[in-house]
Structure 1
Amino acid sequence: MTETFYEVMRRQGITRRSFIKFCSLTAASLGLGPSYVGRIANAMETKPRTPVIWLHGLECTCCSESFIRSAHPLAKDVVLSMLSLDYDDTLMAAAGHQAEAIIAEIKAKYKGNYILAVEGNPPLNEDGMFCIHGGRPFVEVLKETAADAKAVIAWGACASWGCVQAAKPNPTRATPIDKVISGKPIVKVPGCPPIAEVMTAVVTYMLTFDRIPELDRQGRPKMFYGQRIHDKCYRRPHFDAGQFVEAWDDEAARKGYCLYKMGCKGPTTYNACSTTRWNDGVSFPIQSGHGCIGCSEDGFWDKGSFYDRLTGINQFGIEANADKVGATAAGVVGAAVAAHAAVSALKRGRLEQSDGDNK
């Protein structure tokens, strides 16, 4: 029988105190309250590790690179303890027929109980011959493996949306996996690549609660894709104040002003970059001086230059001029009062005229 998460941790010398601390950190990363710590601990103590098959289609492996650099929790803890990562042709030692036999074994032994993680997408043109997996079109392997899976995770923009492989004119007909797989719950974790801690947290949630997280209308976990990067960006006050970088490395750039005019897509991009951040929580692209390119949004690769400025985004301008803001507000109130008075006078005139006619 497959070991539980807690059994593996104990075997590795992890104390009970450290285990509870891990559960607390997990609850915090998922945005859950202290009351969930006990539920997470119970799940980790009683549930067997979930077998995972991780497939690769058209992609650059950046999702795997991001995943193995996770800091909270460490990827080794996820891979070696929480998951039973039985198949990943990038990380596994086996190759060839030996590796392919593992997929068949997992599908037969854990039918309906394993998770399928997909990095990359299937090309459909030329009968799928632009991506071959074990001597067969990847799209065939993908459909067969998904058929007996409990749930499917689409890692990154490639699996979720198609990404640059699907850029116009898309000669290979690179296709998002939800257009190929049907009848299975699919969790999209887009980004190019996704944040490592977001990837591990999504897996943790699914293993702990035995269900997929609440998704937005595009199939992304709301806990990480429920707010725009713009809403939590540390440069947001500069946006509201009308303080923008006008050219790379100008004085405004050195002062850390808003990158909106340099093409930043933060106001239209939903992701946790500005809160969870990258590189062990140290920074994210905007903090590194480059605007967001919107890599977690569908079609970001075909929406013009990454440096084209967004249009129609209104700013508040709280520091433009306090007196001017106050005068404007007073003017608006005055206009409203005048309009109300005019309407009231018009109504009175109509009523007086009506009374005169009745007499």
Structure 2
Amino acid sequence: MPNALVASAKVLETIDERLLRCGISRRAFLIFCSSLMIAAPYGLAITEKKTPEEVAAGLGKVVRPPVIWLHFQDCTGCTESLLQTSHPDFGDLILNIISLEYHETLMAGSGLQARQALDEAVKKYAGKYILVVEGSIPTKDQGIYMKMAGRPALNVLADIGGKAAAIVAIGSCASWGGIPSADPDPTGAVGVADLLPNKSIVNIPGCPPNPYTLLGVLLQYASNGTLPEADELRRPKFAFDRDIHEHCTRRAHFDAGNFVKQYGDEGHREGWCLYEMGCKGPETHAGCSTRHFNEIPDVWPIGIGAPCIGCTEKSVAFRIPMFQVVQLHTIAAPPTSFAPITTTHGSMSPLATGLVGLGVGALAGAGYVASRKFSKEQGYDGPPGSTPSNSEPGDDA
């Protein structure tokens, strides 16, 4: 258990204490843990090689982490994605698994009440809470493009982010600017790590990202006080260690050279590869192809017939035009068609023909001599291939 959360144990409940106080049965919690093991990100340390009972025993002792959720330049799509989870559903998540202290979209209060709730949460859990940031932060003309409770967005992030134990930047906008940072970028939009480079930050890019990646990060931190192993872009490796193309359900069509040429054509209807439509799957690291949204098969961009735009890659999404084909760096280009069944045969020279004929003649002569010898040993001297008079057709020689 992280030291910061141990210090706050007097004011925060463990998950077990919360469930007991709310009258939620142990059986219901075991069902939740079973679902978690299926739906939570692969490689999540708290579920790896454990039974549901072992997971429940470990999670039950975890102090529910206090979470403050801030919105900056965003469309609220990341929150909307989180609202659609079912293992656990959002009610379980915010009421029993984490302690959501502030979230502008979900809280009942507004205006002065909302500001007071935020100030109280920051003061109460300073150095203990996890800050989740949704949306990019404008850096140009401070205060013109965005203010929160009368303060420029930059100041709000510096204040609240500076007091957080860890920060999760959810979505491409919070990770590195996203849509607001696309040219001409009038607001100077940047991600959280650009402004707080020395903080413990996990980037979960996506437009929107898979909500279970956030769940995995929060539970791992609450469980043992650590953040997942990350790549050079601060993305958790358990969710971003594979590229979409390698695990794409349409990969066989890529290898066969079957490509969609335009939306609605025969190939599109048949589920062919979308590479020539600008699919960025070969350059995009994410788990979309193996972990679909809302637990519904094929609910992800390529699954519904749209090319991947590379939303989890800083140098791809909102930088490369949507229908521009990306280069294949580590993957061999697909063939234009299947290999032909028949091949063109060369001609034999007269000398080779003569030698082959000589060889065939020698084999035939040897066969004739052998057959004559065999017939004489059996007491028959008739022409080869005829039946001896003392045997019936079909008898063994």
| TM > 0.5 | yes
Q: State the partner residue of 1:21.
A: 31
Closer, same or farther: CA 142–231 of 1 in aligned 2, 3 Å:
same
Give per-residue Cα distances to partners, 1:251-288, cap 9 Å, x unaligned. Answer: 11111111111111111111111111113333211111
- Rounded Cα–Cα distance in structure 1 between residues aligned with 2:337 and 2:21: 58
Q: Tell me which moved more, 94-103 or 282-291.
A: 94-103
How far off is 1:158 after superposition?
0.5
Matching residue within 10, 17, 22 for 1:7: 17
Root-mean-square deviation (CA, aligned residues, Å) is: 2.3
Mapped contact 2:245–2:282 kept (Cα < 8 A):
yes
- Rounded Cα–Cα distance in structure 1 between residues aligned with 2:204 and 2:75: 16
Give per-residue Cα distances to partners, 1:15-58, cap 9 Å, x unaligned. Answer: 32332332243244232433375664344222321111100111
Secondary structure at the aligned position of 1:178 is classed as helix
Secondary structure at the aligned position of 2:50 is classed as helix
**Aligned: 1:314 with 2:332:** yes
Q: Paired residues, what number? A: 326
Mapped contact 2:42–2:239 kept (Cα < 8 A):
no
Q: 1:91-130 maps to which residues of 2 (within 5 A)?
A: 91-130=106-145
**Aligned: 1:260 with 2:275:** yes
- Rounded Cα–Cα distance in structure 1 between residues aligned with 2:54 and 2:123: 30
Q: Tell me which moved more, 313-322 or 243-252.
A: 313-322
Matching residue within 143, 148, 151 for 1:133: 148
Mapped contact 1:227–1:271 kept (Cα < 8 A):
yes
Q: State the partner residue of 1:342.
A: none
Q: State the partner residue of 1:71.
A: 86
Closer, same or farther: CA 15–185 of 1 in aligned 2, 3 Å:
same
Q: State the partner residue of 2:262.
A: 247
Mapped contact 2:63–2:222 kept (Cα < 8 A):
no
Mapped contact 1:70–1:200 kept (Cα < 8 A):
no
Letter in 1 for 2:319: K
- Rounded Cα–Cα distance in structure 2 between residues aligned with 1:305 and 1:178: 25
- Rounded Cα–Cα distance in structure 2 between residues aligned with 1:207 and 1:281: 28
Mapped contact 2:65–2:130 kept (Cα < 8 A):
yes
Give per-residue Cα distances to partners, 1:202-244, cap 9 Å, x unaligned. Answer: 3222222321111111100111111011111111111111111
Mapped contact 1:27–1:34 kept (Cα < 8 A):
no
Matching residue within 30, 33, 56 for 1:41: 56
Mapped contact 1:242–1:315 kept (Cα < 8 A):
no
Matching residue within 201, 205, 208 for 1:193: 208
Mapped contact 2:137–2:192 kept (Cα < 8 A):
yes
Q: State the partner residue of 1:30.
A: 41
Mapped contact 1:161–1:299 kept (Cα < 8 A):
no
Q: State the partner residue of 2:301.
A: 285
Q: 1:98-247 maps to which residues of 2 (within 5 A)?
A: 98-247=113-262
How far off is 1:130 after superposition?
0.9
Closer, same or farther: CA 41–322 of 1 in aligned 2, 3 Å:
farther
- Rounded Cα–Cα distance in structure 1 between residues aligned with 2:108 and 2:216: 26
- Rounded Cα–Cα distance in structure 2 between residues aligned with 1:164 and 1:157: 8
**Aligned: 1:61 with 2:71:** no
Q: State the partner residue of 1:88.
A: 103
How far off is 1:303 after superposition?
3.1
- Rounded Cα–Cα distance in structure 2 between residues aligned with 1:26 and 1:209: 17
How far off is 1:89 after superposition?
1.1
Closer, same or farther: CA 109–43 of 1 in aligned 2, 3 Å:
farther
Mapped contact 1:163–1:299 kept (Cα < 8 A):
no
- Rounded Cα–Cα distance in structure 2 between residues aligned with 1:291 and 1:176: 25
TM-score where L is the length of structure 2: 0.76
Letter in 2 for 1:78: L
How far off is 1:161 after superposition?
1.3
Q: State the partner residue of 1:355.
A: none
Q: Where in structure 1 are there 5+ consecutive unaligned residues?
A: 326-359
Mapped contact 1:51–1:85 kept (Cα < 8 A):
yes
Secondary structure at the aligned position of 2:214 is classed as helix
Mapped contact 2:41–2:212 kept (Cα < 8 A):
no
TM-score where L is the length of structure 1: 0.84
Larger helix proportion of the pair: 1
Q: Where in structure 2 are there 5+ consecutive unaligned residues?
A: 1-10, 344-397
- Rounded Cα–Cα distance in structure 2 between residues aligned with 1:188 and 1:36: 29
How far off is 1:317 after superposition?
4.5
Mapped contact 1:118–1:154 kept (Cα < 8 A):
yes
Closer, same or farther: CA 235–133 of 1 in aligned 2, 3 Å:
same
How far off is 1:320 after superposition?
2.0
How far off is 1:129 after superposition?
2.8
